[in-house]
Chains A and B, each alone.
Chain A
Amino acid sequence: MKKGLAYRMMIYLSKRMIACDEASYLISLREDRRLGFIRWAQLNMHLLTCRLCRKYASQIRQLSHSLDMYRHQCNQENCMHHLSPEAGSRILEELTRELNAK
């Protein structure tokens, strides 16, 4: 019996099923770059069957989202952190000393 492309693809991928260590690596990798078809398919096959890795994928997406918020906060012009007056004076003193030495 002649096997269809989808069937042959399923056999090919099932022979190459990946474990959680590789799946979590691919979850991280896809945050930064596009996965090739084989890797994409391997990851999705794994995710269909692994609840922990689905949770992991969801958490990694949330981590990226939290970092977006964090980046926004720490790059704000109205900054949250201020140099203490003592540190400011100390740095200014040091800078002035260096300037005078030149």
Chain B
Amino acid sequence: MSDHDEYTLDPQHWVERYGDYLFNYAAGRVSDRERAEDLVQETFLAALKGRDRYRGDSTERTWLTSILKRKIIDSYRKKYSSRESAFGETEGVAFDGDYYRGEDPLGGHWQEGKGPHSDSLLPEGKLEEEELSGFILDCIEHLKPNLAAVFIMKMIDEEDSAYICKELGITPSNLWVMLHRARLRMRDCLEKKWLT
């Protein structure tokens, strides 16, 4: 008998034990409640299918969470339009026509009205926790799915850059540019939300 045989899974009790935890995890990364529920269901079914691969190196909950993480990223990946080649953004180029002037004497500077309006992104201390969560989730959903996936992995899950590049098949330069674009849009979205 191998060392790992003592680690057994208990699928009958997964929903009762980890349903809320996994749902909370998913609901913190996708704004649609139904989509979060579907992700939890897909996670349990995928775990059931792959339970022979569970080696007991981590707890049951950690193992299920790692499956859910992948499902969340896949859900953003699926949303990503095939018009935009694969996952990569333009290598090393930070220019973004949505925010900066093009080729004029002021090329590369903020477009009129597109730059930040105040030093403060959100009214400090005035936002309820729930309100802040709502704003953040809503703005993540408004990102292009490829940017959302990168943003969630790096900024919310705090994954290592090398791991993200490997998972998404992108180069480190792609990653920095995509993170920059995601931050540009998140900043813009959050500022608009609390100003309106």
Smallest Cβ-Cβ distance to A29: which chain B residue: B176
Whether, in the assembled complex, A40 has its beta carbon less than 8 Å from a beta carbon of chain B, the answer is no
CB atoms of A25 and B15 under 8 A apart: no
* Nearest CB of B to A63, in Å: 6
Check B115–A21 contact: CB distance below 8 A.
no
Complex CA gap A82/B75 in Å reads 21
**A44 contacts B by Cβ under 8 Å:** no
Q: How far is the CA of A38 from the CA of B159 in the complex (A)?
A: 28
The reply to whether the CB of A81 lies closer than 8 angstroms to some CB of chain B is yes
Whether the pair A91, B44 counts as a contact (CB closer than 8 A) is yes
A32 to B37, CA, bound (A): 32
A selection of 15 A-B contacts at a CB cut-off of 8 Å is: A19-B108, A20-B100, A21-B94, A29-B176, A32-B154, A58-B120, A66-B122, A69-B129, A76-B24, A80-B24, A80-B130, A83-B20, A87-B23, A95-B44, A96-B12
- Judged by a CB distance under 8 angstroms, whether B72 is at the interface is no
Q: Would you give the shortest CB distance from A91 to chain B, in whole angstroms?
A: 5
Chain B residue nearest in CB terms to A18:
B108
Binding site for A on B (CB under 8 A): 11-12, 14-16, 19-21, 23-25, 27-29, 36-37, 40-41, 44-45, 48-49, 94-96, 99-100, 107-110, 115-122, 124, 129-130, 132-133, 136, 154-156, 158, 161, 176-177, 179-180, 183-184, 186-187, 190-191
Q: How large is the interface on A (under 10, 10 to 19, 20 to 34, 35 or more residues)?
A: 35 or more
Tell me whether A67 and B37 are in contact (CB under 8 A). no
Q: How far is the CA of A76 from the CA of B130 in the complex (A)?
A: 13
Interface residues of A (CB under 8 A from B): 18-22, 24-25, 28-29, 31-32, 52, 54-56, 58-60, 62-64, 66-67, 69-71, 73-77, 79-84, 87-88, 90-92, 94-96, 98-99, 102
Q: In the complex, which residues of chain B have a beta carbon less than 8 angstroms from the beta carbon of A82? A: 20, 23-24
B14 near A95 with CB under 8 A, answer yes
Complexed CA–CA distance, A77 and B25 (Å): 10
Contacts of A77 in B (CB 8 A): 21
Known: A28-B179, A79-B24, A98-B48. A91 touches B100 (CB 8 A): no
Name which residue of chain A comes closest to B41, CB basis: A91
A60 to chain B, nearest CB (A): 6
Contact A24 B180 (CB under 8 A): yes
Q: Judge whether A56 and B156 touch: CB under 8 Å.
A: no
Closest to B183 in A: A28
Q: Across the interface, which residues of B come within 8 angstroms of A73, CB to CB?
A: 28, 129, 132-133
